[in-house]
Amino acid sequence: MKTEEQVREKLKELQADLFDSKSAIGNEFLKNNIAFIMKLNEIKPVYCDTIPKDLEEGVLYISKQYNTAIHLCACGCKTQTVTPFNRPDGWVLTESNGLVTLTPSIGNFSGQNPYHAHYFITDNKINWV
């Protein structure tokens, strides 16, 4: 049985093949559907003093020193998603037994494919809206 990581790697290979192909239909299909194919369903919290330069998919980096969390968009588009927390204009981070929740929801409403990602992070789970 293949691991989730192996499946993701295979999907990335297929994505590259389709974008290199001469098929306009294949390219259009992939552009419209790759975010759905690559969506994550959970995220792992990692606490750090400063945010690392290179982010990994599926990891929520949390800096309590700067009251900020950052992760790569859960849809797979790799957009850096910054969520300042515990501020009047930010998110609220709650923690319990190694599980984190960020409220309110997180939305990725910019880039080449706006409105493609809208989700909640609740107890390390990604719940799609």
Residues 47 and 34 in one domain: no
Residue ranges of the chain with per-residue pLDDT less than 70: 1-2, 14-38, 109-116
pLDDT given at position 72: 93
State pTM to two decimals. 0.70
The answer to whether 12 and 5 have CB atoms below 8 angstroms apart is no
Question: Residue 7 belongs to what domain range?
Answer: 1-38
pLDDT of residue 79: 85
Q: Are residues 52 and 92 in the same domain?
A: yes
Sequence-distant (≥ 6) Cβ neighbours of residue 120 within 8 angstroms: 102, 103, 104, 105, 106, 126, 127, 129
Q: What are phi and psi of 73, to 5 degrees?
A: -45, 135
64 and 81 in a single domain? The answer is yes
